[in-house]
Structure formats: structure tokens, C-alpha cells
Structure 1
Amino acid sequence: MCTRVLWNTNDVIVLTGRTMDWPESTQPVIVGFPRGRDRDGSNPAGLVSDPNPLRWTSQYASLVTTIYGLGTVDGLNEAGLAGHGLYLESTDFGPRDPAKPGVQAGLWLQYLLDQADTVAEALRLMDEIQVLKISAHGRDANLHLALEDAGGDSAIIEFGGAEPVIHHGAQYTLMTNDPTYDEQLKLLSLQDFSHPSRDMPLPGNVNPVDRFQRAAYYSALLPAPGSQREAIAGVMAIMRNVSVPFGAPYANFGVYNTEYRTVTDLTNRMYFFELSTSPNVVWIEMDRLKLDDGPVVVDPYDYSLVGDVTDRFTPRELPF
């Protein structure tokens, strides 16, 4: 399921928080990828068979969280562009246009992080490609993307057919899952959360609609931060508030538990990660990663990790 919150209105840093909600572990690995990496939009090998796969060489290094070893679902690059893949049931990538190079859905975000330095550039790249549907662990990768950059720009990209539906602008700071983003925005028109108070009724369920409105309410309550530390703590508090309690039996009505939360500091290129099954928060300073010899990884399910884990990354080759 998942929730994304962008805070681009404070005077300290640009931050994004996200939750990853899913019925099972997505087998996340935090990976630092160097620039200059050759990729194929049909990889990992055999995932899709396509006559015109997109091929590219990454222009930017990236720090990402992978999903099932098939691609990227969250992260940022060295230029200060970040992105997040969330689930949208109604996603339809449309019929295959063989004239456009294709990229499987798990590499969609990775391609944009590899090649774009701003939201505007990422949207321009969308004109040149087609996203290809894939399935993993018996579930379709029905993704919509949220993008933001260090300048505070933002975009939401959804597919309801062959052409993407894009909402582009710094005002698009919140996102959950179904319904489509047009419908989510209508929710905000029903109640003004820009001036929250203790008397304002607040939806408390775990479904995407209630989480969207709750994220709007608490985002409007964030105080001006006095430091990077305070700003990060504020966004993480919101992500915990919109999380689905671990182990709760919600899957029987289509809402899934939160596996992890992240906060991305686009200004300082730092990445914070918190498993719902561990009290430890870990973080990485991207500029300090040693990427000269290829990809490096850290396993967030290593419960011994806590605090700054930039120096705990180890080399590992990945299938994409």
C-alpha cells in the first residue's frame, strides 16, 4: 500500500518520508550504485521478453532500496533527485508500442535516478520510453511514482492507459494508493487541513483514503525546524503515524502491514531507514559511500545495525 509525504516548505532542508506496506517481506536491500553502470530494461535476465528493451549507462550514482532483487522501489541519486514507487491497483501501462524502448516496472524508477538530475528532466525522459508490466511473487507490479528534487519540485506519475497522467508542481506533496491521484486530491477539497485544530475530526483508519487525510493534517502541524535533526524527526513521526501496525490482520480487507519507513534528505543526500520490526533507525551519508569498485550493499534486516551505517556497506554484484 504505502504513503509518501514531501516537506518542501521549511527553510532548512527538503525531506520526503515514505512507508512500504506489503503483505510479506519485500526482501529489501539498501544498495549504493556507481555511475557508469550499464543496464538493460528487460533485466534481470528472463524477467520480461521484449524486442526493444531500453538500454542505458547511468550518469549518476544512486542510493536505493531494492525489491525482491528485481529492481528499485525507493531512493535518491547524487544530484538530489529522489523517487518512490507505490502500489496503485488501477495501473494500466497500455498496449506495447514497439517503437519505444521498454523498461520493466521494477527498473522504471532506477532508470530515472540513473539519468535525471531534476523532476523536470525525469518527466522529459518519460516521453522516450514505455514501462512494461511485470509480476513478482504472484502479484503484479502496479506502480505509480512520486518524484522530488533538491529544489522542492515534485511530480506524481500514474498510468491509466498508454499515456502517463502527470501531476507536476511543488504543491503535490502527499500520496497514498487507490483511488487515482485525481480522486485523492478531491479528498483535500472536502476538508481544509491547512489550519488544523484539536477540534477537527480526523480519519483514523488504515485505508489509503484515511492515511492520505491524516498525512495532510499532521504535515500542516509540523513546526518550523531549528535543525536538520528536528526536521527529520518531524517527518519520521508522520510516517509512523500513517503506518499500519506490524502483525495486524488487515490483509483480509486489502490493507497491508508496514514493513519499513524511510526519510530522504535531498539537501544533504542522506537516507534514513527504519524497519517496523526493529527499534533501530539507520542512516547513510551518500557522499561518503565508496563506489569505485562497483555496487555496495547493506542488509537492513541485520538487527545489529544502528545509527550511521555508511561504513558498513560491503561489495556485492546485483542482477540489474
Structure 2
Amino acid sequence: MRLLPHFVNLSLVLACARVVYKTSGQDNTTYITGRTVDYAPDNDLTFWIFPAGISRHGGIKRHPLEWKSRYASTMAVMFNKISVEGTNEKGLSGSSLFLGESSYGKRDGRDGISAGVWLQYYLDNYKSVEEVARNHCPKRWREKRKPQIVRENPVGGIQTKLHVALSDLNGEYLIMEHTSPEMRLKCYRSKEYDVVAGDTYHMKRARSKDRIWKEIDGRPSGQWPMPFERYDRLFFYNYHIQASDDFASALATTMGMIRGVMIPRIKIKPQDNRDRDLWPTQWMMYMDTSHGFVYFESAITPLSFNYKLSNFKLSEGSDIKLLRVRDQTWNWQNGTGDVTQEFRTRGASDHVPFMADNFIAS
């Protein structure tokens, strides 16, 4: 394993951390992804089932990239504009995470997609990390690959500063980001990048140990962790965690790691929001991408549910399905469980994100 690296126009905090837990059972190797999402409490979180063959739109006005999805996928979408967490039918999965240093550069003549569509674009078109890297990671310093990632207008006053973390069934990981001062796409690809936090300074530790030490010197260990400390905790967990030989224990193990880095709904001073990037966790999500299994867990109510992508019709021409989290209620007697039957076919009034026929310029 290797370390991978405000209240005015709030930055969109889409994650504290992401971890991929690997377990080898009797039949095959399973990878379970777990993540947290912080801040953004009223984000109209919706889970979508996208069959193959959907005509897509880049979500921007000038020179938008348009494409037709090759693979079916399921995606958690916030504000109906931002792809947050998902997996496709081939087992390529990904997360959009907050990256305060994001800088996508000036708009040029390339076809583009909004930062909110970025993750969905990869799940629509590729089945492995290798394919994404081969087609989109620059091979030379100043090389510009298509499409250009465009930072769209803030969503509800919240800026979309994102980077993308991808993983596949081959055990490969890829982190893609645009940061200052280069303002170009950077790719970090390795089978060791199984833990990612919501910022990049952990990727610069070899060059910034003195700065990191100044930030933590003299601070009581009992204080709530800063983002890089949450990363350290996940890194430690995933390195030393006991192996699981069945799906149930692997899922529970991943849940335990993610719950160990979440921030409960405590009163947090605005200065700590700004200086220490501390925000209450809103929800957690877990995925077994080899089986398309998705498990959602709220951090503000006892609500939890699950479903499998393979239980839906995914061929071209099949219905697009959706499930809005705000429509789900916790059943204190029976829990929630499998919500496959709760997904409904999208209606005429449902705005389908990233779909060419539904694009509305903002």
C-alpha cells in the first residue's frame, strides 16, 4: 500500500475517505468499496439504474461532448447533476471526491464535460482502469487529452471541486485530478492506491513533512482528526485488518473501517469547518462490484438499504429506473433491506441527469 495522496461559496465536500477492501474467498477475489460523504445535507440524493445505449450530454453549453453509453451502470447522483458513486456492469467502479486544490484551467476548443458528469463518462465507456488510463491519461507533460473537464456553475452555492478515484476487478486503482499550478490532468495508477482521502496533501508528504508536523505538533491526540488523519486511520485499518473468507464478513469489515472515520453530528465551530475541513458525515455507501451489490447507510437516520445491479434489465432499450432517498422511510419494525422493487421507471417529469434529451443549460 502507498499513501495517496469557506463558508463563502462553499466547496462541495463529497467525501472524507474511500477504501477498497480485498478478500479472497473460495470461489474468487472480491473487492468491496466503502466511502463516506460529508456536508451537503439536502442534496436530493437519487440512485439511478442506467441501461446501456443511453445518449449522453456533457452538461455544458459550449462544445459539449456527446456519446452513447456502452455499458449499463448504477449511480448515486446529488443535485441531479453530480455523479458521486457508482459501478458498471463490467465491475469498473468509481467515486467523485472533494479536492480543494482543483483547477481545471481555461476553456479551450476541446469537447468538454462538466466535472459532475466526469465519473459517469468513464463508467459508460470503459470496463477497466487500464482502458481509462490508456485513453485519457497524458503520456507527455503538456499533452491535452479529450474530453476537457469543465467546472460548471456552483450547485446551490456549492462549488464543484472534484477528483475521481476508479477501481476494477483486476485490483487496479486510478486517481485522476486537475490541480494548480499546472492545471492539467494528473493520473496516479497503482495496485496499491486502495485508500484515498478528500484532498491531495497526503500525496505530497515526502516533500512536506515539516509542514504536516507544524500542523499537528502540540495538538492533543484526543481532538477530532483532520482529513489526512482520517486517511491514516483508514490506511492503518486496511493494512492490518483481518482477512475475510466470505461476503458477509467482508462487508461488515468494510463497514467497520468506514464507520471508524465518519464524523458524527456534533456541534462544529465554523473555524474548524474552514481550517480543519470538519463536516458531519451524511451517508456511507458500500459496493461489491463483482456482483453489482450496493449498500447505502444514512448517518443521520437509521435508514439503510441495498440492491443488486444485476437484478435489473440492463440491455439497450430497457427502462431507466430511479430511487430517491428522501422518499424512503426507516421501518423500525422490519428495517428496509432490499429495495429493488422500490425503484420506479422514470416518468415524463423526471429529469434524467447526463442524458442528451434532458440537458437544460444553467
TM-score range, shorter chain: 0.7 to 0.9
Q: Report the equivalent of 2:297.
A: 274
Q: Name which of 111, 114, 130 aligns with 2:148.
A: 130
State the 1:137 CA deviation.
1.2
Q: Name which of 218, 221, 230 aligns with 2:237.
A: 218
1:11-36 per-residue CA deviation (whole Å, 9 max, x = no partner) reads 54111111011243322111111110
Q: Report the equivalent of 1:294.
A: 319
Higher radius of gyration, 1 or 2: 2
Q: Do structure 1's residue 110 and structure 2's residue 128 form an aligned pair?
A: no
State the 1:231 CA deviation.
0.3
CA contact (8 A) 1:25 1:259 kept: no
Q: Judging changes above 3 Å, is the alpha-carbon distance between structure 1 residues 315 and 90 closer, same or farther for their aligned structure 2 residues? A: same
How many residues align structurally?
303
- For structure 2, which runs of at least 5 residues remain unmatched after alignment? 1-12, 137-144, 210-219, 355-362
Q: Do structure 1's residue 303 and structure 2's residue 329 form an aligned pair?
A: yes
Paired with 2:53 and 2:206, the residues of 1 have a C-alpha distance of 39
1:265-291 per-residue CA deviation (whole Å, 9 max, x = no partner) reads 112111111011222321111100235
Amino acid at match of 1:49: K
Q: Do structure 1's residue 141 and structure 2's residue 160 form an aligned pair?
A: yes
* Mapping 1:227-246, distance limit 5 Å: 227-246=246-265
Q: Report the equivalent of 1:195.
A: none
State the 1:8 CA deviation.
3.1
State the 1:39 CA deviation.
0.9
Q: Judging changes above 3 Å, is the alpha-carbon distance between structure 1 residues 116 and 203 closer, same or farther for their aligned structure 2 residues? A: farther
Q: Do structure 1's residue 49 and structure 2's residue 49 form an aligned pair?
A: no
Paired with 2:72 and 2:208, the residues of 1 have a C-alpha distance of 37
Q: TM-score, normalised by structure 2?
A: 0.78
Q: Name which of 344, 352, 359 aligns with 1:314.
A: 344
Is the partner of 1:139 in helix, strand or coil? coil
Q: Do structure 1's residue 73 and structure 2's residue 91 form an aligned pair?
A: no
Q: TM-score, normalised by structure 1?
A: 0.87
Paired with 1:178 and 1:129, the residues of 2 have a C-alpha distance of 23
Q: Judging changes above 3 Å, is the alpha-carbon distance between structure 1 residues 251 and 232 closer, same or farther for their aligned structure 2 residues? A: farther
CA contact (8 A) 1:7 1:15 kept: yes
Q: Do structure 1's residue 163 and structure 2's residue 184 form an aligned pair?
A: yes
CA contact (8 A) 2:99 2:162 kept: yes
* Mapping 1:27-42, distance limit 5 Å: 27-42=44-59
Paired with 2:266 and 2:73, the residues of 1 have a C-alpha distance of 32
Amino acid at match of 1:141: T
- For structure 1, which runs of at least 5 residues remain unmatched after alignment? 43-47, 189-200
CA contact (8 A) 1:14 1:150 kept: yes
Of all paired residues, the percent bearing the same amino acid is 28
Q: Judging changes above 3 Å, is the alpha-carbon distance between structure 1 residues 87 and 225 closer, same or farther for their aligned structure 2 residues? A: same
Q: Report the equivalent of 2:34.
A: 17
Is the partner of 2:42 in helix, strand or coil? coil
Paired with 2:247 and 2:193, the residues of 1 have a C-alpha distance of 22
CA contact (8 A) 2:24 2:245 kept: no
Q: Report the equivalent of 1:26.
A: 43
Q: RMSD between aligned alpha carbons?
A: 2.4
Is the partner of 2:263 in helix, strand or coil? coil
